[in-house]
Chains A and B, each alone.
Chain A
Amino acid sequence: MAHGVAPAAAAPPAFDVARVRSDFPILSTTVRGKPLVYLDNAATGQKPRAVIDAVTRFYREENASVHRGVYHLSEQATDRYEATRGRVARYIGAADPREVVFVRGTTEAINLVASSWGRANLKRGDEVLVTAMEHHSNLVPWQMVCEATGAQLRVIPMDRDGALLLEEAEQLCTDRTRLVAVVHVSNSLGTVNPVQELVALARAKGALVLVDGAQALPHGPVDVASLGCDFYAGSGHKMFGPTGIGFLWGRRQLLDSMPPYQGGGSMIRKVTFPRTTFADAPARFEAGTPHIEGVIGLGAAVDYLQSLPWDSVRQHEARLLEYATECLREVAGVTVYGTAPQKASVLSFTLDGVHAHDVGTIADQDGICVRAGHHCTQPVMDFFGIAATVRASFAFYNTREEADALARAVAQARRIFG
């Protein structure tokens, strides 16, 4: 997939899937007596031993609160916690670790910007642009802040392949536009959006750009510098780290100009009854004792991701998506949704005359985990006039054999329902 990184000229060496699979204990387990076939990576990623060990080690040997203690254990925990900021910054191409704020996940990152930046800066007559394929997490917070401030929400439409209509975006991006909120990779269609082009449109009108990176980050490092965006949000658990931890990256002068999101300990400089002054970012946005073991697990996950040969991984994922799409299309009545030219390894489909949940139940009998439903993108389902899709989302550890197993299960659903 495209991440603003030029593809290597020569074909990269083949990716050793068996070797990486052995790093993930859960991938060698069975479900209902069948080998686990985990194809719900867009919902959450499985955890490599490195992450499990880092979290376990923290609890067994290193647990202490951060930013407080004058004792060794707390200083060590603080160092480990802060070192993760640098790891995340490197993974996303950010120059300054202080631009990385730890939050619960992508949802909280977006809510932070909508509440803090949005309420301080949006007013009647302003517009916020989103795309037709946003996850509810990059739509509902903007609806809420528009409701509160009187700003208007506008939607950049897409075509039947699930590709964004850039000409329409150009028309919609005006002097009234204050922020463009765009999903980097669509969770329900797999579309990789042209963030750089949208940034150019927004820049020309003086608008900011927030990118929901939840589904892009599991498919390789990104580069916020070359994307040119102002905010980038991500979730640890989709990057094969723990749940409950994620991050918001924002330009430093922007973060320092934003009012706090939540008040409490750690985010202050000086507190008196009449008046409180606030710390600079990132501490300003990290009120309360943070999710320390989550951050340490995230650090281990980012280290793991950094160790992968991404040219080979990208080729493996692209071939796997192509192969799985071909296998499914051989089953009568399968329609694939999300056929944009730039696409990540997300495969959404319907089976004519069979509801997605019935396909999901039938796949489950073979130990196959797929998602069935609207994937928190109800407007996308409405656009295609469908209630739900089955979604198989592939990670670097998935194999062609697993794509075969999925196709067999869908063919069985076809047989059961006739």
Chain B
Amino acid sequence: MADLAELYQQVIIDHNRNPRNFRAIADANRTADGDNPLCGDRISLYVKVENGTVADIGFQGKGCAISQASASLMTGAVKGKTIEEAERLFQAFHSMVTSDGTQAPDTSLLGKLAAFAGVRQFPARVKCANLAWHTLHAALAGDGKASTE
């Protein structure tokens, strides 16, 4: 039985209400727009990469609590990380929200991002949680656009 309290954890509610790094970055050298056409969730991501490291990152966007809190927590998690470390986090996050739940999420790697473990019980909302990460992936790959469709 899916549990609302597992989906809407306090950390998610908090980051939705007070998103961190919610700003455009004027000298960003990697940007991408992500959208979730079904729901209308949208984010614009601004990344400043220096020497293979995410030196600064910000986002702006509109959408459901899951999509916006995920973007806020993602920016916090990858800031200061190398591109390889950020990609590893993307893979770990992706497998956490799409797994069958038999394997416990790697909390030592994911840290606060483990708050999204409950999303996998809500298949309609997995795309909301993944949007920011797909957008990051697109920005780092130089694609400029990401869509969950």
Residues of A within 8 A of B (CB): 32-33, 353-358, 361-362, 365, 372-374, 387-388, 412, 416-418
Whether A365 lies near B39 (C-beta < 8 A) is no
Contacts of A356 in B (CB 8 A): 64
Could you tell me which residues of chain B, from 84 to 138, have a CB within 8 Å of some CB in chain A?
122, 124-125, 128
Contacts of A32 in B (CB 8 A): 1-2
Q: Is B4 in the interface zone, CB < 8 Å from A? A: yes
The CA-CA distance from A412 to B16 in the complex, in Å, is 17
Whether B64 lies near A353 (C-beta < 8 A) is no
17 contacts between A and B (CB under 8 A): A32-B1, A353-B17, A355-B63, A357-B39, A357-B64, A357-B128, A358-B8, A358-B65, A361-B4, A361-B7, A372-B39, A387-B40, A387-B63, A417-B8, A417-B65, A418-B13, A418-B17
Known contacts A374-B40, A387-B63, A416-B4; A361/B122 CB under 8 A: yes
Residue from B4, B38, B62 within 8 A of A387 (CB atoms): B62
Residues of B within 8 A of A (CB): 1-2, 4, 7-8, 13, 16-17, 38-40, 62-66, 122, 124-125, 128
Whether B4 lies near A362 (C-beta < 8 A) is yes
Whether B62 lies near A361 (C-beta < 8 A) is no
A409 to chain B, nearest CB (A): 10
Residue from B2, B13, B39 within 8 A of A417 (CB atoms): B13
Whether B63 lies near A416 (C-beta < 8 A) is no
The CA-CA distance from A262 to B8 in the complex, in Å, is 51
The CA-CA distance from A356 to B125 in the complex, in Å, is 12
Contacts of A372 in B (CB 8 A): 39
The CA-CA distance from A33 to B3 in the complex, in Å, is 13
Contacts of A354 in B (CB 8 A): 65
B103 to chain A, nearest CB (A): 24
The CA-CA distance from A417 to B7 in the complex, in Å, is 12
The residue in chain B whose Cβ has the minimal distance to the Cβ of A360 is B124
The CA-CA distance from A418 to B17 in the complex, in Å, is 10
The residue in chain A whose Cβ has the minimal distance to the Cβ of B68 is A355
Whether B8 lies near A388 (C-beta < 8 A) is no
The CA-CA distance from A173 to B135 in the complex, in Å, is 46
A140 to chain B, nearest CB (A): 16
Whether A365 lies near B2 (C-beta < 8 A) is yes
The CA-CA distance from A354 to B57 in the complex, in Å, is 25
Whether B4 lies near A373 (C-beta < 8 A) is no
Residue from B4, B38, B64, B122 within 8 A of A355 (CB atoms): B64
The residue in chain B whose Cβ has the minimal distance to the Cβ of A353 is B17
The residue in chain B whose Cβ has the minimal distance to the Cβ of A354 is B65
A353 to chain B, nearest CB (A): 7
Contacts of B4 in A (CB 8 A): 361-362, 365, 412, 416
The residue in chain A whose Cβ has the minimal distance to the Cβ of B14 is A418
Contacts of A417 in B (CB 8 A): 8, 13, 16-17, 65
Contacts of B16 in A (CB 8 A): 417
The residue in chain B whose Cβ has the minimal distance to the Cβ of A359 is B64
Given contacts A388-B39, A417-B17, A418-B13, 13 further A-B contacts (CB under 8 A): A32-B1, A355-B63, A357-B63, A357-B64, A357-B128, A358-B64, A358-B65, A361-B4, A362-B4, A372-B39, A387-B40, A417-B16, A418-B17
